[in-house]
Chain A
Amino acid sequence: MNESPKKEFPIFWGCALAVLVVYLVFKFAAPVISMWIVGRTRPLPLPRTLMFIYTALALLGVGLFVTTSERKMDAFMAPVITFIGGGQGGIIAIIRMAVLVAFPLLIGWVTFSKAAPAVQYLTSIRVQHPTLPGKFEKLENPFRNPDDARLKKFAEEKGLGNMELAKVKEVFAEQVLAEGRGLFQINCRPCHGSRANSNGPMAWGFRLRPADFTDPGTIPTVVEPYVFWRINEGAFGLPAESTPWDSAMPSWRGEIPEENMWKIILADYDIAGVTPRMPEKHHE
């Protein structure tokens, strides 16, 4: 019996496989993983440029690995040299011919697309949440934690004179929410949708979709005064990095009284079933 040395996996094919695996992971697994991380309902495909960078990194890694020793280099190059040299028959000969023809054509195509005039697109990556202007920072929603004075006044107006304050608070909250829901359905529904999920009947024509409030990346990651600012100034208050020119979001200042804006804010969190981010405690 012949004791043959343990057969090594051919290094060239090992490398090719590694690059392929990396590619497949970013092409198919990453969208699913990112969907799981951001909590969306559908996979998020990786943008082309990222795909390119990751694959290029994998190729670079392979290059580094192969060039660590002369032996590896030779083992890596061997199948390439046999292939280019020819002499293998059958299907391999056909593939070789195809590669030899395709390669110059590919280079030709790349040259042509570089030499032919390209259209200049000046697009920018959109920042959904620019910094909140300072004067809005410290505002608070007067309806989220109403003070006793407001509650007492409310109880008086509604003739709830002898009701416990805790109970009045509940009635008050329910009333404010009902008003907020109505105002939301009147003013915001055409775009943001009656379920606050960006599916309003007017959303269909807008390429920059109205924000989907059920998406954890929108109003759940901001504090209430942030939403107050957006309702006040809409598209027109956004800085350039947030592409105001594409946004259909109205500026409601002067059209919706501020009190009603705060009620709408309560309602849009409620309808979407999410909560606002809590403001960080201010230092004394």
Chain B
Amino acid sequence: MSASLFIKRASLLLLLPLFYLSSVVLAQESLPFVEEAPPTKKIERSLENIKAGEKIYQKRCLPCHGVKGSSDGPAAVYLDPRPRDFTRGIFKIKTTLLDAPPTDEDHFRIVTRGIPGTAMPSWKTLLSEDERWQVIFYEQQTFFPEDRKDPSKRPAPIVIGAEPPMTPESIKKGDDLFHGKAGCFVCHGNGGKGDGPIATTMRDIWGNPQLPRNFTKSWQFKGGRDPKDIYTRMTTGIFASGMPSFATQLTDAERWDIAHFVRSIQKELKPVQSDIKPKKISGTISLDPNDPLWNSVDYADIPMSGQVTVPPRLQTPQIDLMTVKAVYNSKEVAFLLVWDDRRANTTHAEPPPPPVPGTEGYTTYPVLYPSENRPTGYRDAVAVQMAVKIPDSPELPHFVAGSQDKPVNLWYWKADLNEDPSVKTPVEMLISKGHKKPPVPTKIQNVMGKGVFKDGQWKAVLKRPLVSEDPTSITNIEPGKAIPIAFHAWDGNNGEVGTQMSISSWYFMVIEKEVPKEAYAYTLGMIILVIGLEFFVIKKVRSKKV
């Protein structure tokens, strides 16, 4: 055995426990932000390079963009937005005006960064710079219309000057323009949550539904979240999506002001670090989501994904974040759940039975095109999921709806019931024993709640007594115990119903146990004891020295 091999083996042994823990480390990996990477050099648009690009395209891009480059890949019909159709040579994220073709550098940038919030991945680490150029040349040469292939015949990009400083005055001016002359709110909404009056009626040039960006979600910007990116989008417009160009309508300075305003309303994510710890309060807990009580309570951001574990699945969820606050008093525990949703859907029609796996025409994910077939007409809803029995071993119920022997509770708030004055509470307490059967109401109904909708955002309070009157079917919330908790959400407008929903992983909720008086006494006693000991030792040492 060579020395280096020996060292490697020996250190492996030492690090063995690491392997077991590596999956835990992985679990904390980054959120999907992508950084900027301008090309360092450009290769030649030669026949060899185009040929080399074909191989890369077939392996990496074809499953989505397709053989014909017209979004005809096998995966395309399941994706929203649909992969780009290259045959018109029209891009979204670029530095040329309106429907002009992109520059090579625009093309390079988007292949490098990918498009956040869509299926288009970043190819930065997997393809070398040369390989990215090769696939770009291939795409242009093979799929672009004849008159857009030659880069020398394409229009020049816009010129972007130096960014003025982002001062409060600039932001204020941008705010006024956004809600006034520029008219951004018509599509992007008053609070910039993409919920303007015409937001849900828009279509892109391929005839598919197109939603305006929610500016508060900094991680959803397709072309970058910085003022320079926002300025660029506003200047060029996003022709393919129906987002106008403001190059002539607004002055350069005005566009920078608006860009600063849009940057200023972006939210910073605060992913929950460990547990959800409700805050203790002394008074009663109001059901009003706007009660000032909540202002002093810390929040946790819970990332949500589409439920794609069990059929029927949803891989195009609208709700990707749930902001949670929690409080408790001596009798009750309550949550304030806040999530963005462009429209309040307060009516509900029961969905048809889901397609059965294995039958003719069954697909593992819903086919989204033609988009007219997508269901709507369901209610908005949200649910808090808790294990019915607080586990006494590391084993938890499965995070998707529990199982027969490890059931979960759902505190299921429904927007249609919220509007119905005849019901006592819009929250149903349900018990779920696995995803194969729908959840059923428990005998005791003990959750109260109320939701309000404003400017593209729902806020709902859900509240119940700490003590369960029926611990066999409803969690008994005991202080000092780590209670598994997860969240579900449905956007009715997006056809979300049943297991087609947004879902979070398990977290833990902990209500702290009160510290007993003895603990303080022990501590004080110990400190006094140690101080005494110190005096004794010093005395001893000194007397020896003399």
Residue of B27, B393, B504 with most chain A CB atoms under a 10 A cut-off:
B27
B320 touches A205 (CB 8 A): yes
CA A33 – CA B438 in complex, angstroms?
50
Known A-B contacts A190-B306, A205-B503; the reply to A115 vs B523 at CB < 8 A is: yes
Known A-B contacts A111-B526, A122-B394; the reply to A250 vs B310 at CB < 8 A is: yes
* Stretch in A60-68, A134-142, A181-189, A276-284 with 4+ CB within 8 Å of B: A181-189
CA A252 – CA B309 in complex, angstroms?
9
CA A104 – CA B123 in complex, angstroms?
57
Interface positions, chain B 455-509, Cβ under 8 Å from A, are 480-482, 502-506, 508
Within the complex, which residue of B74, B482, B519 is in contact with A116, where a contact is CB–CB below 8 Å?
B519
CA A230 – CA B93 in complex, angstroms?
39
* Stretch in B10-18, B255-263, B341-349 with 4+ CB within 8 Å of A: B10-18
Within the complex, which residue of A112, A236, A245, A255 is in contact with B311, where a contact is CB–CB below 8 Å?
A255
Q: For residue B324, give the distance in angstroms from its CB to the closest CB of chain A.
A: 14
CA A256 – CA B530 in complex, angstroms?
68
Q: For B12, what are the chain A residues with a Cβ–Cβ distance below 8 Å?
A: 37
CA A191 – CA B119 in complex, angstroms?
11
* Stretch in A5-13, A42-50, A147-155, A156-164 with 4+ CB within 8 Å of B: A42-50
Residue A74 interfacial (CB < 8 Å): no
CA A193 – CA B311 in complex, angstroms?
19
Residue B6 interfacial (CB < 8 Å): no
B391 touches A116 (CB 8 A): no
B19 touches A119 (CB 8 A): no
Residue B399 interfacial (CB < 8 Å): yes
A272 closest partner in B (C-beta): B126
Within the complex, which residue of A116, A197, A248 is in contact with B515, where a contact is CB–CB below 8 Å?
A116
Interface positions, chain A 14-67, Cβ under 8 Å from B, are 30, 33-34, 37-38, 44-47, 50
B357 touches A254 (CB 8 A): yes
Q: For A204, what are the chain B residues with a Cβ–Cβ distance below 8 Å?
A: 31-32, 303, 305, 320
B75 touches A205 (CB 8 A): no
Residue of A112, A124, A191 with most chain B CB atoms under a 10 A cut-off:
A112
A120 touches B480 (CB 8 A): yes
B527 touches A255 (CB 8 A): no
Q: For B544, what are the chain A residues with a Cβ–Cβ distance below 8 Å?
A: 81
Q: For A201, what are the chain B residues with a Cβ–Cβ distance below 8 Å?
A: 32, 117-119, 305, 315
A217 touches B27 (CB 8 A): no
Residue A89 interfacial (CB < 8 Å): no
A240 touches B395 (CB 8 A): yes
Q: For residue A277, give the distance in angstroms from its CB to the closest CB of chain B.
A: 16
Residue A98 interfacial (CB < 8 Å): no
CA A206 – CA B508 in complex, angstroms?
14
Interface positions, chain A 183-217, Cβ under 8 Å from B, are 183-187, 189-191, 193-195, 197-199, 201-209, 212, 215, 217
B32 touches A246 (CB 8 A): no
Within the complex, which residue of B15, B60, B523 is in contact with A108, where a contact is CB–CB below 8 Å?
B523
B515 touches A117 (CB 8 A): yes
A127 touches B20 (CB 8 A): yes
A195 touches B19 (CB 8 A): no
CA A84 – CA B539 in complex, angstroms?
10
Within the complex, which residue of B11, B74, B394, B534 is in contact with A100, where a contact is CB–CB below 8 Å?
B534
Residue A146 interfacial (CB < 8 Å): no
Q: For residue A129, give the distance in angstroms from its CB to the closest CB of chain B.
A: 10
Within the complex, which residue of A50, A121, A243 is in contact with B17, where a contact is CB–CB below 8 Å?
A50
CA A197 – CA B308 in complex, angstroms?
18
B23 touches A181 (CB 8 A): no
B482 touches A190 (CB 8 A): no
B523 touches A194 (CB 8 A): no
Residue A86 interfacial (CB < 8 Å): yes
Within the complex, which residue of B358, B398, B523 is in contact with A245, where a contact is CB–CB below 8 Å?
B398
Residue A123 interfacial (CB < 8 Å): yes
Residue A244 interfacial (CB < 8 Å): yes
Residue of B73, B515, B523, B538 with most chain A CB atoms under a 10 A cut-off:
B523
CA A122 – CA B387 in complex, angstroms?
14
Residues 238-264 of chain A: 1 if any B CB is under 8 Å from the residue's CB, otherwise 0?
Answer: 001001111011101011100000000
Interface positions, chain B 103-149, Cβ under 8 Å from A, are 117-119, 121, 123, 125-126
B396 touches A246 (CB 8 A): yes
Residues 402-416 of chain B: 1 if any A CB is under 8 Å from the residue's CB, otherwise 0?
Answer: 000010000000000
A194 touches B64 (CB 8 A): yes
Residues 67-99 of chain A: 1 if any B CB is under 8 Å from the residue's CB, otherwise 0?
Answer: 000000000000001001110000000000000
Within the complex, which residue of A86, A117, A245 is in contact with B506, where a contact is CB–CB below 8 Å?
A245
Within the complex, which residue of B73, B365, B522 is in contact with A115, where a contact is CB–CB below 8 Å?
B522
Q: For residue B322, give the distance in angstroms from its CB to the closest CB of chain A.
A: 10
Within the complex, which residue of A104, A117, A212 is in contact with B527, where a contact is CB–CB below 8 Å?
A104
CA A211 – CA B23 in complex, angstroms?
9
A209 touches B26 (CB 8 A): yes
B541 touches A112 (CB 8 A): no
CA A118 – CA B514 in complex, angstroms?
10
Residue B542 interfacial (CB < 8 Å): yes
CA A250 – CA B499 in complex, angstroms?
13
Known A-B contacts A120-B482, A191-B308; the reply to A208 vs B505 at CB < 8 A is: yes
B542 touches A108 (CB 8 A): no
Q: For residue B127, give the distance in angstroms from its CB to the closest CB of chain A.
A: 9
CA A124 – CA B526 in complex, angstroms?
34
A186 touches B505 (CB 8 A): no
A191 closest partner in B (C-beta): B308
Q: For B542, what are the chain A residues with a Cβ–Cβ distance below 8 Å?
A: 85-86
A83 closest partner in B (C-beta): B541
Residue A175 interfacial (CB < 8 Å): no
Q: For B31, what are the chain A residues with a Cβ–Cβ distance below 8 Å?
A: 204
CA A178 – CA B26 in complex, angstroms?
30
Residue B223 interfacial (CB < 8 Å): no
A33 touches B11 (CB 8 A): yes
B126 touches A195 (CB 8 A): yes
Q: For A254, what are the chain B residues with a Cβ–Cβ distance below 8 Å?
A: 357-358
Q: For A117, what are the chain B residues with a Cβ–Cβ distance below 8 Å?
A: 480, 513-516
B26 touches A202 (CB 8 A): no
CA A189 – CA B510 in complex, angstroms?
35
CA A44 – CA B23 in complex, angstroms?
11
Q: For B513, what are the chain A residues with a Cβ–Cβ distance below 8 Å?
A: 117, 119
Residues 520-542 of chain B: 1 if any A CB is under 8 Å from the residue's CB, otherwise 0?
Answer: 10111011001100100110011
B23 touches A47 (CB 8 A): no
B538 touches A86 (CB 8 A): yes
Known A-B contacts A190-B308, A205-B505, A217-B19; the reply to A85 vs B27 at CB < 8 A is: no
A190 closest partner in B (C-beta): B315
Given contacts A195-B126, A205-B303, 6 further A-B contacts (CB under 8 A): A50-B18, A86-B538, A122-B391, A193-B121, A240-B395, A248-B308
13 contacts between A and B (CB under 8 A): A38-B19, A44-B25, A47-B17, A47-B18, A86-B542, A111-B526, A116-B516, A119-B480, A190-B306, A193-B121, A195-B126, A245-B397, A248-B309
The chain A residues found within 8 Å of chain B, CB to CB, are 30, 33-34, 37-38, 44-47, 50, 81, 84-86, 100, 103-105, 107-109, 111-112, 115-128, 178, 181-187, 189-191, 193-195, 197-199, 201-209, 212, 215, 217, 234-236, 240, 243-246, 248-250, 252, 254-256, 270-271
